[in-house]
Structure 1
């Protein structure tokens, strides 16, 4: 597999991988706050701090959070994402790192976000490995998923929760995550662990090998993980009918055999159609009449992952040091789905596509459309009926979604000591990611319609294929007695969707840094450098054309993206006051000033400065502060690829189709809608579109007018480490982040109430003409035919710079270790409290708060608080600890809230559902068996969610892709997970 992967990528890699292995660079992000980390890694090199390009400089103005090797081992991490669970400031780390659930792309990429600032289209957290970028992953996204790094290769993770574009360029509005690998590992380590819970299990193994010689060394790290799927049906509280918990019924009457509604009747009937009918009302429906397609779906897929990393370093003489890294990873996932699904848009792996259509029986006007298997309820003589069907009885467990991701990169660096005070360095990175997703075994919607009523349309209009027992579909009988022919059954599953992507990166960097001169406060240091990064992506989608089986008619969409970024950066460290100056109240005062210039071939130039200071008041107290501007360059898929005629605004996810949801519009902003039937009642102030024959059309995907998002950040904080209380540390940081013009698909609730964006919804009072439909579609592929009848409105749901949000909050961390003759007790609390989250659609429009009002914009988590409390004990070689994790309460402002959100002039004011806070408790225990077979063996036990707490109820269907009744952005219903394992070191 590896050779095939490299062979396919030979032309790309051969020009850069050799350079990467032969050269190298000092990593500008390769970092650490504490000096003792050098001993932990076996490194005698000068450490460079995360957030600085200056070698050996202290962290200035920064609240640098570090997760060290001991915490990594205590977490029993199977992926690098698991390492971040101890940092409440990082949102998304508690979601399973298995492609599918809460993933940011159909390929299953998962990306953590600092303070929850950023979404699938506007990721605002820079993620790097050893300070450098790596291949992005995804198909309809371009995301930095760090989970391809072997977790046993990680020395520590550093979280810089502040703007950092002045050092690193794009994506660092909220901050940066730096996964720092083990630089000079020596010895042998191996581990194996097995985790199990209710209807779920996983196991993983790692191997680490390293050797050192006088002038260099080599290390090899390998990890393997195997995780089972978890079905929605394994978590009964996540099923669609939430009425027993006080919520809504998200189930439906689309069953197999079908639920039928004879023409001219309001009652529904179910197999065997001999009983009394029942009302078409989901609120009052008996559970026995309901169907829930999530019975056939998985919450998370089964997944297997192999990852490996090779590290080399070599001194050449007294001044030159060379080093190189090579990383390879492959992940496969497999997920079950209901057969009535379709390829999801906008990153959603799949969406429900249930069958609601007209079937014709004896006596119908067109005899060719009469289905020979047609059945009426007892005593009913209707010549047509509406059938509601999902097909799962005929095709149980046939729909599969298979994901694949393969990553490779080579990184090399060369560092040369010009003198005792100056160094020059260069590095290169060359990498590639291949990702693909395939959905098979799902219903061919147009094939179902053709076999049901002889046309490709649900209402039976259009060209007719005469129905016979040989080509018709029987939706009235169960599998055991079903009369559909084998040929038709095979045809109904001829609906394959394929998505594929190949992303590459080439990064070249050269820099120098050293000491300019000395001030009374210390050495004035400077770093300057130049950087060039080249990105590319080739993506393609093959999907059904909506006019028959995939094997006979499919759509194909392929795009190619190219990006080149050329940058120059500089940084100055100014120690103005030093301890030797004996100034009362100012033991030291250090300033850091940095700036970066980036030029994009698509967007032009962007400049970002930063200023920071450290004020050491006395030995125990440090005050720090910083101010910065940052930016996020749009992902390829949000604005479209280059073509000979310019940027065409297409992406593999661009499409045209009918509006499937209902839209409430204020008639004072859309007065032309009063001419639409159903919108012209005297005194009517709103109109509900998308229902009652008020049909619409919609486009989604890339928008060539999307621009970079911009951010402003500042923070002030203090670190307290009292000399009179050894083992005690406390830090407090008040932070502010403004993210302007963040990219995303525009929520319709914002669009219809915003003067700036209201034109994204267009009204056609007399119905759109064919020319208007063609102009709106503009050649985009159609995912399904428009509904029969006039088209009264269009919704342009392509990506926009629509999110403007100002965040503020407090990060805190208090820890204390009390040492005794027999061992120690450790305790601590840390967390993030958001104090502000103001949003507006565009400059000049009203600003409103969404703090604690979760799901209003669908992109940023809005809960106020996330925190952890820890208590542990160490006695000799035994350690144990308890951790309580808490997500604070919030108000659910989503579309399905039981108490609808009340708005005034388009601004939300009140309403929504109160959702309780969620607390889980984790246990970890370990014992280190010394000198066993010339080595040490550590055995460990971890229990996540010790008391098996279930997430709080939220009246949310999660799009019925991930279960219902909880919030899939904040919580996951895994339940208790017990992991046992052993780690051996020689």
Structure 2
């Protein structure tokens, strides 16, 4: 007679009928262990012959379903059958065979794993206990079933926690994890320029160690990187994994390894690893419909999602498909007061920043242009009165402004010099938020399909695979096209509207637009457009198509005690970014016309539609990244035995190929150039207002191998005082890169159980981040950013034109020319952590299970890729010019008469405007970051009041220090000693703690209650205060962005009878107290990298299971 067992849950749980759907979370593991977990979660008794079933591995089961369906999914393809025994029991048997032995059930009560497993002195069970070692690999170790996972800090968000966030996108979900840093790739960043990663994109930045320093896995294997790049805070282009490609609606859980893991997973795992695990292996499925929106805005979301699965080949195989479609409308600038205007001065009333002109973030580039007559070295006069400056510069302004020299048509006039966009002339600025109602976040249509399959070829080998497809189309309204000073456009003397044009038109008629009485020749003069915004073209419309494809096929099985797995993976991501713009060649041709349909930049008459249409073009940026890999890995948890237990081992290898292509529009990459017909100068960019950027492409092949050992040094059976158990993890990885060489990195971790319920743990590891293909392969990258020319501010201050640098208006678009560097080395890191895990054993089981963790961590990085930066270069130039020299990397135009007048009687030599700044990507100085993670988990199951789950997770940033380079230190010393003004903003060195996206504290907590068909869940999220370094007050102090606390709440009811059986409805709210994002100094009035740009978000949904 074969020995059998009965697994049952506590008696209180038996009230659950087998027909009631339950949320199951059961990993792939041995059948006895799986059935013990099934009984605990469902309250249903399981009877089976232990000896026959102890070697059988079940399938993972995730999702809400009836116990009968869950059992069927668990045993599908295993050769085990299930049949009901009474109302509350299920019996398992092997498929019918001759002379099958009987089994005799023996009672066995399920226990939780964790610290309880193997407790010394525990009462012996009446039958062999189910094998507690799971066959699933959790991020942190490659050894299946290894206890050493307990030595590393891992945060796991299960299905209930995911639901409690109310997340619709991957960006929504990952923002709720406190250890995640700022989201620099987001829907609000840099939408006016294709030099940013735009559209449906969200970056991943664990611990704020930098975009690209966190490895992202999908079901344990790498994801392809997002193709679009943008400059990070170090002004180096970085790429990210796109969080919005994660199929949130189909997730089973999210695992976050908060520890360096390059020795296990390779490059990019400097800060840690994010592993998203999808649901699969189901029979049946569900369809879900959800609709929601942000109150007081145009933002609305419609989401249709579901999971479908089916067994085939008599249960030997399964195919499951997750699908999700989201239709989101745009969040518009006019929706909320803090985004409605770029002029933020009114929002800062009553604060220490009240009255500062730097809070007026309206653009100084407007439809009122600045111009300069070409070839003039003296003022142009009209009937003896000057209408230009001594260098021939003039601007257009409304006739209502003071200073008009000559009145033109359409309510505008000519005034001398460049526009003063401060004081009474502040109305010459342009407010794109108000005038064009630009999009704060784009409208998005997103489709995500992700399928998984497996098929048991025989009892030892299983074929498996994945097939995923993501696509998203985003559209947004952005500001109008504007000029950049480094690519000046000339208006020929022949232009019909040129006020300094010829006296007669080509047909002999008098020119009605030439100013009377000019002291220039009859042929007139061409003029240069120094700055202008082409507002009559209307807003810019941006359309971005993102797509991503993933295909994986592999085999897994067991051989002589080893679990092995091998797979081939190919993934590809593309971005097609389309934006309407202006052809410089077409604009030049339209400006040359001597008829009324010539383009008029002077505002004296509205341009005809034909003139506008003639200069419009659509620019297209096409980016693509690919990832192809082949891997093999094997593990065994009991390679050999030591007195402390079984030694586990894992080893494997991988070959992967990464490619990146950045294919710029032909008008930007130098294919189509533009020649100024007046000056004869050829420019490499024909897209007006856009810096030239050559195409970049690169590829690399990486070959890697790794090994890991889990070594039990002391076990409970050894009865060592104060050492219940002691386990060690040792791992190493070697990688060879085809483009820069080889790296090898180790890792060590240890877990020490002092007593039952108290564990101490620690780790030490080295890591690396390979330079991305763009910074290694780029030639010359030209970028234009608005920068303050501080030496001109100093001139204004000395002349008494301003009272502090906070009111300096000497900012304009400064062009930087950054060159790639094939000699870049990997960014390297050393990390360590010490922590403790407490599970109080003195609490009675009826109080639930409580787990507390605390981990102190530190990461030191060196060789971070970046540049000195044009902002810092201009400050250095300011310092050196006060000492009689200048920064040779700041290339300026020759001083004009206006420049000479600006510097007169200041003691400073006259300096012309900046033409461009030279820079190169280099490995920067080291960075030291330290922090503390705290977590709490409490679970109470099977009470008459229902099931309860409480979680808490806090991240405390203690230190964030970046060693200044010698040049940065020179600037910091100069500011400290008063050699340069305290109002200068120096970036890239010193303590960065609490600045911008680095709050000292972030925390998140959730509580879920379930009773029969009712589920109520809530979560709260806290983000600490930070200093906004984008502006300073008169004393050089940064603006303090306040802390924010938001709460989410949802309720769900599932019908279990009648026609609605299997149907559930839910209602919820994110940011239920309607908190606005804290005020910051930005065009939208908040930090999009830290906060969502709206208040209360309400949603409702319905789900049908089948």
Same-fold status (TM-score > 0.5): yes
CA gap of 1:929–1:795, structure 2 versus 1, over 3 A, is same
1:87 Cα offset (Å)? 1.7
Contact 2:397 2:412 in 1 (8 A): no
- What secondary structure, in the 3-state scheme, does the structure 2 residue paired with 1:489 have? helix
Q: Which residue of 1 aligns with 2:595?
A: 468
Q: Which has the higher contact order (CA 8 A, sep 6+)?
A: 1
Whole-angstrom distance in 2 between the partners of 1:444 and 1:536: 31
1:406-417 aligned within 5 A: 406-417=547-558
Whole-angstrom distance in 1 between the partners of 2:515 and 2:1093: 42
Whole-angstrom distance in 1 between the partners of 2:514 and 2:730: 79
* Structure 1 unmatched ranges of 5 or more: 1-25, 344-350, 455-464, 641-648, 668-673, 770-788, 856-860, 902-910, 958-962
Q: Does the alignment pair 1:202 with 2:329?
A: no
Q: Which residue of 1 aligns with 2:123?
A: none
Whole-angstrom distance in 2 between the partners of 1:95 and 1:879: 34
Greater radius of gyration (CA): 2
Contact 2:892 2:916 in 1 (8 A): no
1:575-586 aligned within 5 A: 575-586=712-723
Give the counterpart of 1:115 among 202, 207, 217: 207
Whole-angstrom distance in 2 between the partners of 1:158 and 1:600: 28
1:557 Cα offset (Å)? 3.9
Give the counterpart of 2:481 among 340, 346, 349: 340
Contact 1:597 1:605 in 2 (8 A): yes
Contact 2:164 2:1017 in 1 (8 A): no
Query: RMSD in angstroms over aligned alpha carbons?
Result: 4.6
1:78 Cα offset (Å)? 2.5
Whole-angstrom distance in 2 between the partners of 1:374 and 1:950: 51
Q: Which residue of 1 aligns with 2:538?
A: 396
1:848 Cα offset (Å)? 6.0
1:208-357 aligned within 5 A: 208-212=307-311, 213-238=314-339, 239-246=341-348, 248-252=359-363, 254-256=365-367, 263=388, 268-269=397-398, 273=411, 282-285=421-424, 290-295=429-434, 296=436, 297-340=438-481
1:166-185 aligned within 5 A: 166-185=263-282
Q: Does the alignment pair 1:862 with 2:998?
A: yes
Q: Which residue of 2 aligns with 1:19?
A: none
TM-score (norm 2): 0.70
Whole-angstrom distance in 2 between the partners of 1:289 and 1:621: 67
1:79-114 deviations in whole A, cap 9, x for unaligned? 333333442112357996799779972465322211
1:466-505 aligned within 5 A: 467-473=594-600, 475-476=602-603, 482-494=605-617, 496-505=618-627
Q: Which residue of 1 aligns with 2:828?
A: 710
Stretch of structure 1 that moved more, 177-186 or 246-255:
246-255
CA gap of 1:93–1:622, structure 2 versus 1, over 3 A, is farther
Contact 1:406 1:434 in 2 (8 A): yes
1:147 Cα offset (Å)? 2.6
1:622-675 deviations in whole A, cap 9, x for unaligned? 1111010111111111110xxxxxxxx43xxx43477853344799xxxxxx9x
1:367 Cα offset (Å)? 5.2
Contact 1:832 1:865 in 2 (8 A): yes
Whole-angstrom distance in 1 between the partners of 2:187 and 2:813: 40
- What secondary structure, in the 3-state scheme, does the structure 2 residue paired with 1:89 have? coil
Whole-angstrom distance in 1 between the partners of 2:247 and 2:813: 51
- What secondary structure, in the 3-state scheme, does the structure 2 residue paired with 1:797 have? strand
1:257 Cα offset (Å)? 7.2
CA gap of 1:267–1:337, structure 2 versus 1, over 3 A, is closer
1:574 Cα offset (Å)? 0.3
1:254 Cα offset (Å)? 4.8
Give the counterpart of 1:159 among 218, 242, 256: 256
Q: Does the alignment pair 1:79 with 2:216?
A: no
Give the counterpart of 2:1100 among 976, 980, 985: 980
- What secondary structure, in the 3-state scheme, does the structure 2 residue paired with 1:639 have? helix
CA gap of 1:701–1:294, structure 2 versus 1, over 3 A, is farther
- What secondary structure, in the 3-state scheme, does the structure 2 residue paired with 1:236 have? coil
1:205 Cα offset (Å)? 0.5
Contact 1:734 1:809 in 2 (8 A): yes
1:930-962 deviations in whole A, cap 9, x for unaligned? 2454742221112111222112222234xxxxx
1:68 Cα offset (Å)? 0.9
Q: Does the alignment pair 1:805 with 2:927?
A: yes
CA gap of 1:358–1:628, structure 2 versus 1, over 3 A, is farther
Q: Which residue of 2 aligns with 1:513?
A: 635
Q: Which residue of 1 aligns with 2:857?
A: 735
Whole-angstrom distance in 2 between the partners of 1:899 and 1:886: 31
1:576-630 deviations in whole A, cap 9, x for unaligned? 0111111121111000000000000111110110000111112211111101011
Whole-angstrom distance in 2 between the partners of 1:372 and 1:222: 66
Whole-angstrom distance in 2 between the partners of 1:306 and 1:362: 52
Give the counterpart of 1:921 among 1025, 1047, 1050: 1047
CA gap of 1:439–1:521, structure 2 versus 1, over 3 A, is same
TM-score (norm 1): 0.77
1:493-519 deviations in whole A, cap 9, x for unaligned? 23x321102222111111222232111
1:507-555 deviations in whole A, cap 9, x for unaligned? 1111222232111221011111111111122331113545489999577
Contact 2:647 2:709 in 1 (8 A): yes
1:768 Cα offset (Å)? 9.1
Q: Which residue of 1 aligns with 2:151?
A: 61
Whole-angstrom distance in 2 between the partners of 1:760 and 1:599: 44
Number of positions where the alignment pairs a residue of Structure 1 with one of Structure 2:
860
1:845 Cα offset (Å)? 8.1
Whole-angstrom distance in 1 between the partners of 2:894 and 2:503: 32
Give the counterpart of 1:436 among 573, 576, 600: 576
- What secondary structure, in the 3-state scheme, does the structure 1 residue paired with 2:607 have? coil
Whole-angstrom distance in 2 between the partners of 1:321 and 1:446: 62
